[in-house]
Structure 1
Amino acid sequence: MIKTILTASLLAATSPLAMAADGHHHDIRSEVDSSKVADFDIVAAKVKLNGRFATFRMSTAGKAGASTPPAIGNGAPGAAIWAYVWPTTLDPSAVGFGEKTGILALAATSHPDFDDTPLQDENVDGDTGNDGGQWHSHWVVLTPDDRCGPGALSVRDVPEGTSPVMPATWPGVPFYLDSPGFTPVFDGASIEVNVVLANADIHALHEAQYDGVTTALRVNANFHAPHVCVENVFDIASGDLSLPGKVH
């Protein structure tokens, strides 16, 4: 049920009508839910602009980032990805993907079984290929995909033999994911990611809306099954993924 709500609400919220209807909102606040894991129980989400720089912030009922997925020791196939995610109404071209390719989201992720940030050394040990378990950031493009389950979402695949428009820091994986190197900063019950939106239309930035989500994704063994599915949603800041937050 939650997957159906996730897809339907995202699609509705990216329409011009939905943006106009929710345009008076700023940050999103949510009540504590003791039935949820505290570090993934969202109590607030916010996106604040400073020119073309933006701070994506999420606050939780517990210590943010305290939990990470268990390693399965099998590399990427079947691996779990846990994430703090900010879905937005920005077009994916704002960060270097092709236009109108899906739902642009910023994600802070942990996945100890594989590394998808070949340009960064998050744990500062001289090896850029062993950092997947460290919290790190991605831009992703999400699309509805019933292959992940009724009403579910996936990270958009790159079909074999195609050369889609990708950001300069795309790590070469067969799906729409960028590894820009923006470091998630944890401080008690909050996580912040400071980003630069150099390619975005400045008017679009000020009109953008967002939500906050904590979620688990799963890597499929088959690259195009699709490769990465949204498997479980821990919490949604708005409750219904209506993207009521207004970037300001």
Structure 2
Amino acid sequence: MVFHTPRGIGLVATALCCLSTAAAAHGIKTPADQAVTASFDIVETRIVSDHGHAVFSTRVRADAGKATPQATGKFEGSEVYAYVWPTSLDSADVGFEKDQGIVALAVTFHPDFDDAARGEKNRDRWHSHWVVLNEDKACPGGLKVKDIPEGTKPRLPETWPGAPILIDSPDYRTDLKADLVEVHIPLEKIGAIATASFDGVTAGLRINANLHAPLLCITNIHKVASGNLSLPGKVVPAK
């Protein structure tokens, strides 16, 4: 899989081809890149099992969560900033139909709308989602959160927020502090993670200004931990 970015920026794989990555207890270590905003400059990505939880973590050069989108006052055309862990999980592992696309955990901030479960509010804080990604050339970043076609009734998680895309809004503990982003997920909720592989991405997304499919596109890739989205990370027990 290669992320495609707008003309003038080039392929992410090309832009990152000179990054050397190293395994760190089956996590992914990546050299800092001063050309990337510090809060999106991934230097280490890990998933560990610890006391009954899978702990997803991304360490950046500095200021995790400091950069947030500017509010526009409108849903359509609004921006989303995200720390993302693409995985080898199947979509059925997180409550959707099987074989729907790339399953990713995402920590997001979007000041113009709420997408918490059961109508709760979350636009004023960083929070976590499961999303299913598909390729779509209509998106500047080459990927979208998969749309739900009108009139269909696919299998959806109980905490699906009601948007016509494959997104889930479970209330997982999500922490951003100093240079670290962490999400704690009970292993009973995601037992398949034990044998999964993963990667790390920082990205910007945007709601379609016309509210048509694709509704939510990846528009900008800041950094890919592996440099090529090869999912080299492996889940290991915490030391």
What is the TM-score of this pair, normalised by structure 1?
Answer: 0.82
User: Which residue of the partner structure matches residue 212 of structure 1?
Assistant: 200
Over the aligned positions, Cα root-mean-square deviation in angstroms equals: 2.3
Query: Can you list the C-alpha shifts for 1:38-82, whole angstroms capped at 9, x where unaligned?
Result: 0100000000124763000000001101110101111x1000000
- The reply on whether 1:174 has 2:143 as its aligned counterpart is no
What is the aligned residue count? Answer: 221
User: Which residue of the partner structure matches residue 13 of structure 1?
Assistant: none
| Cα deviation, residue 198, structure 1 | 3.2
The amino acid across from 1:142 in the alignment is L
User: Which residue of the partner structure matches residue 104 of structure 2?
Assistant: 105
Mapped to 2, the partners of 1:176 and 1:245 lie a distance apart of 24
Cα 1:168–1:78, aligned 2, differ >3 Å: closer, same or farther?
same
Mapped to 2, the partners of 1:199 and 1:185 lie a distance apart of 19
User: Which residue of the partner structure matches residue 80 of structure 1?
Assistant: 79
Query: Can you list the C-alpha shifts for 1:13-32, whole angstroms capped at 9, x where unaligned?
Result: xxxxxxxxxx9971000111
The amino acid across from 1:61 in the alignment is R
- The reply on whether 1:165 has 2:155 as its aligned counterpart is yes
Mapped to 2, the partners of 1:196 and 1:176 lie a distance apart of 21
| Cα deviation, residue 240, structure 1 | 1.3
Identify the structure with the greater strand proportion.
2
The amino acid across from 2:149 in the alignment is P
User: Which residue of the partner structure matches residue 29 of structure 1?
Assistant: 29
Mapped to 2, the partners of 1:164 and 1:2 lie a distance apart of 27
- Contact persistence 1:96–1:199 (CA under 8 A): no
In structure 2, the gaps of 5 or more residues are: 6-10, 14-22
SS of the residue corresponding to residue 108 of structure 2 reads strand
The amino acid across from 1:185 in the alignment is D
The amino acid across from 1:175 in the alignment is I
- Which of 118, 127, 136 is the matching residue for 1:136? 127
- The reply on whether 1:228 has 2:216 as its aligned counterpart is yes
Q: How does 1:178-197 map to 2 (within 5 A)?
A: 178-197=168-187
**Residue identity (%):** 44
| Cα deviation, residue 119, structure 1 | 3.9
- The reply on whether 1:146 has 2:134 as its aligned counterpart is no
What is the TM-score of this pair, normalised by structure 2?
Answer: 0.85
Query: Can you list the C-alpha shifts for 1:81-120, whole angstroms capped at 9, x where unaligned?
Result: 0000000000111111111111110000000010101448
- Contact persistence 1:53–1:197 (CA under 8 A): yes
User: Which residue of the partner structure matches residue 235 of structure 2?
Assistant: 247
Identify the structure with the greater helix proportion.
1
- Contact persistence 1:214–1:235 (CA under 8 A): yes
SS of the residue corresponding to residue 171 of structure 2 reads coil
Query: Can you list the C-alpha shifts for 1:139-177, whole angstroms capped at 9, x where unaligned?
Result: 00000111214x700000000000111111001110000
Mapped to 1, the partners of 2:165 and 2:105 lie a distance apart of 15
Q: Which moved more, 1:82-91 or 1:41-50?
A: 41-50
Mapped to 1, the partners of 2:178 and 2:131 lie a distance apart of 26
Mapped to 2, the partners of 1:62 and 1:89 lie a distance apart of 28
In structure 1, the gaps of 5 or more residues are: 8-22, 121-127
Mapped to 2, the partners of 1:175 and 1:215 lie a distance apart of 18
User: Which residue of the partner structure matches residue 3 of structure 1?
Assistant: 4
The amino acid across from 1:162 in the alignment is T
- Contact persistence 1:94–1:197 (CA under 8 A): no
